[in-house]
Chain A
Amino acid sequence: MQDLTESILELIRRTSTDLPADVENRLRAAVEKEAPGSAARGAFETILKNVDLARAQSTPICQDTGTPIFYVHYPEGLSMRKLRREIQGAVIQATQRNYLRPNAVDAVSGVNSGDNSGDDYYPSIHFEEVDAGQPLTIDLMLKGGGCENVGAQYKLPNSQLRAGRDLAGVRKVTLDAVQKAQGLGCAPGVLGIAIGGDRGSSYYASKETLFRKIDDPNPDPDLNALEERLTGEANQLGIGPMGFGGQTTVLGTKISGLHRLPASYFVSISYMCWAYRRRKMTVQGDKVSYA
């Protein structure tokens, strides 16, 4: 296969500067629900002006270009090591072109690498093999630190919240997490929730589930009902954009169920800010397309 560094650079540019339509549509609907002259309406208006401007100028929507999280589905026979090098190279080039902020800080020395070169964990790259002949796809999400910091993991049962080991318990801890987040994660957010797994796999799945489109219904009817109920109830909290108070606190909810150990029942909640930057690149033969 051809060298994909340039194409991945373009994927990063699009992700950082061009908000996906499903997210933008939810934001455009949310502005209409706020009273004219309110701080909440002002916040949404500024957000939407910024979305337009970032797209027109090809500049980052948010200065916190976050952790670049890549999910790669590669056809059998393709070199994972080569793909990893191309992704890492594209991330460095995207930093030089100001699509990404230099965001990789050595946690021990405190030194910022300056070009987003990191280690085996940064940028975050996940590989999954698909059949030979299938297209190569690379999904990218840029997830900033503000919203990452308000993510939460609960262990059920939780007596303080009266939350048991069932979907009713999942509902309670999720609402608690949204209330605790207030505006700190750049509300209105999108919730990615994983039920089950171990501590690591549970958080991992809570991010993976965020790649679903906001308006994509959950195939499991119980989880779909819970997703809708949680979005509605989170909005009753009245936290609003930026925590200014308002009608929209959460734009959508996505839930995945995992297997778990009999002893463990984790609920992991990844909070994605309104600047929900995710894009997909598909490579079939010589053809590269973006969505």
Chain B
Amino acid sequence: MRKITIPISAEVVRELKVGEPVALNGIMLTGRDAAHKWLIETFIKKTRQPQDDDLQVYAELKKHLDGGVIYHCGPVVAGLDTKDYRFVAAGPTTSIREEPYQADVMQHFNARGVIGKGGMGPKTLQGCQEVPFVYLHAIGGAASYIAQAVQKVLGVYKLEFGVPEAMWLIEVKDFPVVVTMDAHGNSQHVTIEQQSRQVLEELLAKA
């Protein structure tokens, strides 16, 4: 399996093709619904004024996301009382909810990879080609197994979003994913959707 170190270069991103398994190494950031909405409203579309520690967190995120990876994940975290955080269960969440935001977020931060499950839509696929970045599929529900690839929790931003929605900064070793949307306009999800729709039409024609 190909090993890739974060931060990832645009050249490496362009080498990756749909169907390729990859093991990720380095530092990544979790982020899902609340985080994407907050990023778009506060820093990208600027429809909301920065508040509290927003600008401070933004400066940190810019560092981590340049060439970085966002993981759609709402983990189960131990050590909340002592702040000696540890990921107990950490599989991917469904990515399509971030479809309105993802490409803009990746563009803004010059990020190179997004990990999730279920794939994403046309706006994200176009962003994959333009930014460029890749969509990396983790195995949904395999949460205890994936948590083993998380070596260390380095910190957390916006814990007020709640444990699942906060942005956790994690160090991973051989984090297992498969490329399902590449920077050349290919999406495994489009292929399977079209094939299954064809079969569905045939089945619906039967009594």
Do they bind each other?
A: yes
Q: Which residues of A contact B (CB under 8 A)?
A: 39, 42-43, 46-47, 49-50, 53-54, 57, 59-65, 98, 100-103, 105, 110-112, 114, 144-146, 149, 161-162, 168, 172, 175-176, 179, 182-184, 186, 233, 236-240, 242-245, 273-275
Which residues of the other chain, A, contact B148 by a CB distance below 8 angstroms? 53
Question: Which residue in A50, A54, A63, A237 is a CB contact (below 8 Å) of B200?
Answer: A237
Flag if B142 contacts A98 (CB, 8 Å). Answer: no
Supply 7 further A-B pairs (C-beta < 8 A) apart from A59-B89, A275-B141.
A47-B141, A61-B89, A62-B89, A98-B88, A101-B164, A184-B118, A236-B199
Residues of A within 8 A of B140 (CB): 62, 146, 183, 186, 242, 273
Identity of the chain A residue whose Cβ is nearest the Cβ of B200 in the assembled complex: A179
Give complex CA distance A42, B179 in Å. Answer: 13
A214 to chain B, nearest CB (A): 17
Q: Are B118 and A243 touching (Cβ within 8 A)? A: yes
A245-B192 in contact (CB<8A): yes
Q: Which residues of A contact B76 (CB under 8 A)?
A: 59-60, 63, 65, 98, 100-101
Question: In whole angstroms, what is the CA distance A184 to B140 when docked?
Answer: 9
CA distance A36 to B46 in the complex (A): 49
Residues of B within 8 A of A245 (CB): 188, 191-192, 195
List residues of chain B with CB within 8 A of the CB of A274. 141
Which of A39, A101, A161, A176 sits near B163, CB closer than 8 Å? A101
Expressed in whole angstroms, the Cα–Cα distance for A112 and B94 within the complex equals: 19
Of the candidates B75, B119, B161, B204, which one forms a contact with A162 in the assembled complex, judged by CB atoms under 8 Å apart?
A: B204
| B13: chain A residues within 8 A (beta carbon) | none
Instruction: Determine the distance from Cα of A69 to Cα of B141 in the docked complex, in whole angstroms.
Output: 18
Q: Which of A62, A161, A238 contacts B192 (CB 8 A)?
A: A238
Is B203 engaged at the interface, CB distance under 8 Å to the other chain?
Answer: yes
> B199 contacts A63, CB within 8 Å?
no
A273 adjacent to B203 (CB under 8 Å): no
The chain B residues found within 8 Å of chain A, CB to CB, are: 19, 21, 34, 73-78, 88-91, 93-94, 96, 117-119, 137, 139-148, 161-165, 176, 178, 180, 188-189, 191-193, 195-197, 199-200, 203-204, 207
Residue contact A62 to B91, C-beta cutoff 8 Å: yes
CB atoms of B141 and A186 under 8 A apart: yes
Complex CA gap A216/B140 in Å reads 27
Task: Point out the residues of chain A lying under 8 angstroms from B200, CB to CB.
Answer: 175-176, 179, 237
CB distance from B100 to the nearest CB of A (A): 16
Give the chain A neighbours of B77 by CB distance below 8 A.
Answer: 98
- CA of A36 to CA of B64 in the docked complex: distance in angstroms? 37
Q: A145 to chain B: which residues have CB within 8 Å?
A: 93-94
